Amino acid sequence: MAKLESVYGLHAVHSLLKSSPYRVVELKVLKDRSDRRLQQILSLAEQNGISVQSLKRASLDKIADGNHQGVVAMATPGESYTESYLDTLLATASAENTNLLFLVLDGVTDPHNLGACLRSAEAAGAAAVIAPKDNSASLNTVARKVSSGASDSIPYITVTNLSRSLKTMQEQGVWVVGAAGEAENSLYSLDLTGAIALVMGAEGKGLRRLTRETCDHLAKLPMAGEVSSLNVSVAAGVFLYEAVRQRVKTR
């Protein structure tokens, strides 16, 4: 049997039970806690025949290295998404003439930022979040917790060669827009209504050279204050929702 992973936090566990209850082997909850949010989780566990164990806080703290909010799900690993899944997405979108929206993370290594990016991408209706296998944050318990359940709803695709995958996307009609503070064009001057991949670089370093050279456009966010850049997850949210705004406007 595959090694179980811990998924913790009210939002994350509730989402997991709603989307993939078959993955949950056991639920561990804080003893004597009985508020409405936990009761909803317990009800889902009962509906799916999942055993529940009540533990003292000290025992839960040992299982979850973070703010578990009184609930931890022991679950089998989620599905892994690779280039083949991306190829399927692109082929389906091409056949159905669908303009997909992608978020691409180039060298984002902080799981907190990954979780926040997944949450924003899922909320914006993105088809997937894409990142290179190396030098990227893994979809660990921290990222899942911060994503508030989005990690179970949106594919996180890891690819061997990011620039090659971006070129494959371009061949399928996807325009690649990279975020760069030194870019001449503002994000708000670009047409984001078609098939778009928004590429965010690592904080401090920005986009890698090959990634930058592969982009069709580079775009910046106007910065009116003294701070020269935004946290990558905040910037990703701004880019994603500018695309959402334009798409809603054209419907």
Q: Which residues are annotated as a binding site?
A: 201, 221, 230
Encode 20-33: b = buried (16+ Cβ within 10 Å), e = exposed. bbebbeebbbbeee
- What SS3 class is residue 183? coil
Q: Find out whether 138 and 112 touch, Cβ atoms under 8 Å.
A: no
Residues 6+ apart with CB under 8 A from 225: none
Q: Find out whether 131 and 108 touch, Cβ atoms under 8 Å.
A: yes
- Numbered residues of the known binding site for S-adenosyl-L-methionine: 201, 221, 230
Helices (H), the chain: 10-19, 36-47, 57-63, 83-96, 111-123, 141-146, 162-171, 209-214, 232-249
Structure tokens at 10: 């009210």
Helices (H), 124-215: 141-146, 162-171, 209-214
Q: Rounded to whole angstroms, how far apart are CA atoms 195 and 112?
A: 27
Residue 10: closest CA among 74, 78, 69: 69
Residues 6+ apart with CB under 8 A from 11: 148, 149
